[in-house]
Amino acid sequence: MKNLVLLVGNDINNLSCGLSWKDLLQDILNFCHAGDQIVIDNNKPFPLLYEEIFLTASKQRKIREKDLKSFIAVKTAEIKGNPIHQSIRSLNPAHIITTNYEFTLEGGTPIENTSIITEKFYSIFRRYQVGPTTYWHIHGDCLNPMSINLGFEHYGGQLQLMRNYVVSGTFYSSKDVPKASLLRRIHTHQVFYHSWIDLFFTKDIHIFGLSLDFVETDLWWLLTYRARQKFHHKNIPIPNRIYYYIPEEYVAVSQFKLELLTANDVTVVSLPSESKMEYYESIIQIIRNKELELC
């Protein structure tokens, strides 16, 4: 579907047998030999918990972050695909944005990296082309371990580059990267989809499998800035819609987050969830029907 854009998170991987996020966290602790020193507490935001684990290991055992992220890359690459990954691909979306590091959505390790520049650390332009679909790994990928975004410092650097791209313009040496800000380019009708960020201001986006916890500071900033442009500054037209899908059983406990999403011009769609598989299949069918209506 030539105009379809999806933002897909890690929860779809929970349908696969094997590594869970909890398992990965324990593997990180074991790799760093920090299991008896670090207290895992849900009150610790994960990016700061990662910093605690890494800094403790770095001080005591001289562990390099490159080695830790390489270990994480190997572990996440072990995640296996499941029928939902295939169902998503069957939509033939134009773009899939994902916070996942592995390539289960692609159905295999992609051959063609089509990014306009090579990014070793951050992920403003990180993209792969597989068939009709462009895949954007916005938090890094397991082929490039240092790009894997886990820690608070990494989130901060990513957000800095995102804001430059949208608001003030970029400073990359490559001639292929537009220097003018996204706002200016939208104003002058020069949007070429060099970055996944472009899509948030121009294309309808369906978000699912993503908890959108507040530690995702990059995405929350982007949603907030987009909403401010639309309702307050009104410097550019923002005609697109953003949809966030959530199981009905989580609506009550997530009401505070859903209120914030609504304030930021995100349409919340709650669906029954008798099983995780049926829940995601229902999302995919709704999206398919919506896109067919637009054809």
Residue scoring higher pLDDT (82 or 2): 82
Residue 1 above 70 pLDDT? no
pLDDT in tens, 240-280: 999 999 999 999 999 999 999 999 999 999 999 889 999 99
The answer to whether residue 169 sits within a structural domain is yes
Let me know the angle formed at the C-alpha of 79 by 78 and 81, rounded to the nearest 5 degrees: 130
The answer to whether residue 207 sits within a structural domain is yes
The answer to whether residue 164 sits within a structural domain is yes
Structure tokens at 13: 């991987």
Longest dimension (CA), the chain: 60
| pLDDT band, very low/low/confident/very high, at 16 (cuts 50, 70, 90) | confident
The answer to whether residue 243 sits within a structural domain is yes
**Residue 22 has what pLDDT?**
80
Domain span at residue 134? Answer: 5-18+79-294
The answer to whether residue 200 sits within a structural domain is yes
Residue 18 above 80 pLDDT? no
Q: Give the count of domains, the chain.
A: 1
**Residue 295 has what pLDDT?**
63
Structure tokens at 170: 């970029």
pLDDT in tens, 79-120: 999 999 999 999 999 999 999 999 999 999 998 789 999 999
Beta strands 5-8; 205-208: pairing state: parallel
